[in-house]
């Protein structure tokens, strides 16, 4: 900065000091004065007539400095509104609103003009000697201007270039108090944090976001906001200096918690199993440790296990939260069932002393029975049970006379298999069956006749007191599987079975027709059973000459018998044969005719006999 800049700064400082002296000379008890200065643009001065418009140009054009001082009396002051003018400077009575003191000096050699205007409200204060004080202030200002002129002569010429001296020449003395005027640049050099033509605008981030005041380039935020630019919500008590404020919420340091980070944090936040009081965990029931992270074992595991992280690890054979209970057997399964017994198996620890097996029929009034086996057994067969009953079975483990909870199953015994099945009578279409009765209660019997080829069949249900049955309507020569089953509720006994074959039937409705002296034609109805062949026999009645036999294929149902003796009585038999079995024979008799000549003689003799009888 050149000498001109230093001179301007010095001048401004001296003017400010004089105004402060003026304020101090007026006693507060008498007058309360407020002194302000204004920057007056050259155009405004010209409009008021306070400064002449110099028409110089180039380097000879003057530099004009204007100062306006307003001295205001506060409204609540005890001073009256009257102020008498002094003898040295009287204020015109025509100006009722304002008393104005104006002075200016010119340095024609340096072309620098200083203009000062002091405004006082008319009759602002009745304080004694006020006019004299103002006159002394004007004298001091004139002295200051002379000193500035002397300093101006010491400056190097042409501080502001000719190009800078054109246009607006008014001087802004203080740069708003936030910078220094430089004649080299003909402008204010602002202090840090300020900017603008006269350094009047604070340089605060984002203008403090309209949530604070900018002071010396720093935001003084409103109470609810913080941050360099007052854009952040303020946290309660600034997080007690124990955390960071993020969007109005405290992110506390590791050792603290709470809305304002004022509370000590408990280790592990008490593991979610307690509450934190002044940094100490008050654990819930069943939890211990600084962070409530360990579970307390119940009853010290009853001396039958050890505690691990609050849980009892029980010894073999014991269980429960405190290892006080004997562990029951596991995986109870039925290995076999009969009509009188049930076979059981299970898994259990070696520490078991013994097992107790309890069983009882589910029906009302059933007797409960028990069976004990050693602890190293893993199964048992319950015997002497009643067929067709359902039993509730429970298996207990015993250690040191302590009984475990049971493992249970519900099992039904089978119905006994019917015994003594036999066939009393067998015909072509009927079979009579017999069997032995049961000694226990059950619902009834079921008997079935199923053909060996599984085509069709007959099923019948009988009362429990029946022990025989005659089945009719069967096919002749058919082999059947006969099953007898006992029934009780939804249960079925194992069946007793036997096979039986009905007797094959023979040909029926035999007929002899077209009989001559030596030939006869025999017909019959074929049998229903499948047979190997049809057996045809014939011979003279009385057995003379023996029997003649023919084996005919089953499809045949007729046959011509020849070489018969004329005028003889014959008997014919027809039967069916399958394997070694032969059906009953169907038989009939017929008589062959006599020879032709004898027959003619008999006809003539018969005719003559008839004629004589009629004459």
List, in sequence order, every beta strand (DSSP E) within 291-437: 294-295, 305-308, 311-314, 318-319, 325-326, 330-337, 342-347, 354-361, 369-374, 379-382, 390-399, 402-403, 407-412, 422-426, 431-434
Query: Of the candidates 521, 479, 485, 525, which has an alpha carbon nearest to the alpha carbon of residue 502?
Result: 479
Range in 101-115, 175-189, 208-222 with the lowest mean pLDDT: 101-115
Interval 194-226: pLDDT, tens: 777 888 777 787 778 888 888 877 888 887 788
Range in 40-44, 241-245, 283-287, 450-454 with the lowest mean pLDDT: 40-44
For the chain, domains (ranges, CATH) are: 3-171 (no CATH), 266-294 (2.10.25), 328-412 (2.60.40.10), 422-501 (2.60.40.10), 508-597 (2.60.40.10)
Residue, of 123 and 306, whose pLDDT is higher = 306
* Residue 235 exposed, middle or buried by CB count within 10 Å (0-12, 13-18, 19+): buried
Q: Which two structure tokens, joined as six digits, stand for 332?
A: 């109870």
Residue, of 512 and 144, whose pLDDT is higher = 512
DSSP 537-580: EEEETTSTT-EEEEEE-TT--EEEE-SPPTT-EEEEEEEEEETT
In sequence order, the β-bridge partners of residue 282 are 275
* Cβ–Cβ under 8 Å, residues 198 and 176: yes
Q: What's the pLDDT at 141?
A: 80
Interval 37-46: pLDDT, tens: 444 444 333 3
**CA dihedral sign of residues 131, 134, 139, 145:** negative
* Helix, coil or strand: residue 226: strand
**CA dihedral sign of residues 410, 416, 417, 418:** negative
Secondary structure percentages of the chain, helix, strand, coil, to 5: 20, 40, 45
CA torsion angle 525 528 533 535 (round to 10): -50
Q: Tell me the whole-structure pTM to 2 decimals.
A: 0.42
Query: Of the candidates 444, 436, 431, 437, which has an alpha carbon nearest to the alpha carbon of residue 482?
Result: 431
Q: Which two structure tokens, joined as six digits, stand for 473?
A: 């309507």
Q: What's the pLDDT at 538?
A: 93
């Amino acid at each position: 900065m050149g000498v001109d800049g230093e001179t301007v700064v010095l001048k401004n400082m001296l003017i400010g000091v004089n105004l402060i002296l003026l304020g101090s000379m007026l006693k507060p008890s008498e007058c309360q004065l407020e002194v302000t200065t204004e920057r007056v643009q050259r155009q405004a001065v010209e409009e008021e007539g306070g400064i002449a418009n110099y028409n110089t140009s180039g380097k000879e054009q003057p530099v004009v400095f204007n100062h306006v001082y307003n001295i205001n009396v506060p409204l609540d002051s005890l001073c009256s509104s009257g102020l008498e003018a002094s003898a040295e400077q009287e204020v015109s009575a025509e100006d009722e609103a304002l008393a104005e003191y104006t002075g200016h000096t010119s340095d024609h050699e340096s072309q620098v003009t200083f203009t000062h205007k002091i405004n006082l409200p008319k009759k602002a204060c009745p304080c004694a000697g006020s006019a004299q004080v103002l006159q002394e202030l004007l004298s001091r200002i004139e002295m200051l201007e002379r000193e500035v002129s002397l300093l101006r002569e010491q400056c190097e010429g042409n501080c502001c270039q000719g190009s800078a001296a054109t246009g607006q020449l008014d001087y802004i003395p203080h740069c708003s108090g936030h910078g220094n005027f430089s004649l080299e640049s003909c402008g204010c050099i602002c202090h840090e944090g300020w900017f603008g033509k006269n350094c009047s605008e604070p340089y605060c981030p984002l203008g403090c976001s309209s949530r604070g005041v900018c002071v010396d380039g720093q935001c003084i935020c409103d109470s609810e906001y913080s941050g360099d630019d007052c854009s952040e919500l303020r946290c309660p008590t600034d997080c007690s200096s124990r955390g960071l404020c993020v969007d109005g919420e405290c992110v506390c340091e590791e050792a603290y918690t709470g809305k304002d980070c004022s509370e000590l944090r408990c280790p592990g936040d008490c593991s979610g199993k307690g509450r934190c009081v002044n940094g100490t965990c008050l654990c819930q029931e069943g939890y211990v440790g600084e962070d409530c992270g360990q579970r307390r074992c119940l009853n010290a595991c009853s001396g039958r296990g050890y505690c691990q992280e609050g849980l009892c690890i029980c010894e073999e054979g014991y269980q429960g939260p405190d290892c006080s209970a004997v562990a029951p057997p596991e995986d109870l399964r039925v290995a076999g069932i009969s009509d009188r017994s049930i076979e059981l198996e299970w898994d259990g620890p070696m520490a078991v002393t013994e097992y107790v097996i309890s069983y009882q029929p589910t029906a009302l009034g059933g007797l409960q029975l028990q069976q004990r086996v050693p602890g190293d057994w893993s199964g048992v067969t319950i015997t002497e049970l009643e067929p067709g009953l359902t039993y509730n079975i429970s298996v207990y483990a015993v250690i040191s006379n302590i009984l475990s909870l049971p493992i249970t199953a519900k099992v039904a015994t089978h119905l006994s298999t019917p015994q003594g099945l036999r066939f009393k009578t067998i015909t072509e279409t009927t079979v009579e069956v017999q069997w032995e009765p049961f000694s226990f209660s059950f619902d009834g019997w079921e008997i079935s006749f199923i053909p060996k080829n599984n085509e069709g069949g007959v099923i019948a249900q009988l009362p429990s007191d029946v022990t025989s049955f005659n089945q009719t309507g069967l096919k002749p020569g058919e082999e059947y599987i006969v099953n007898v089953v006992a029934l009780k509720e939804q249960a079925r006994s194992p069946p007793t079975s036997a096979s039986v074959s009905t007797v094959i039937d023979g040909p029926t409705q035999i007929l002899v027709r077209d009989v001559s002296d030596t030939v006869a034609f025999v017909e019959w109805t074929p049998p229903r059973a499948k047979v190997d062949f049809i057996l045809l026999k014939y011979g003279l009645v009385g057995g003379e000459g023996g029997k003649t036999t023919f084996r005919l294929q089953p499809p045949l149902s007729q046959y011509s018998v020849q070489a018969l003796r004329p005028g003889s009585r014959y008997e014919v038999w027809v039967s069916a044969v399958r394997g070694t079995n032969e059906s009953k024979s169907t038989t009939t008799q017929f008589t062959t005719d006599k020879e032709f000549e004898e027959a003619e003689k008999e006809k003539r003799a018969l005719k003559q006999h008839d004629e004589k009888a009629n004459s």
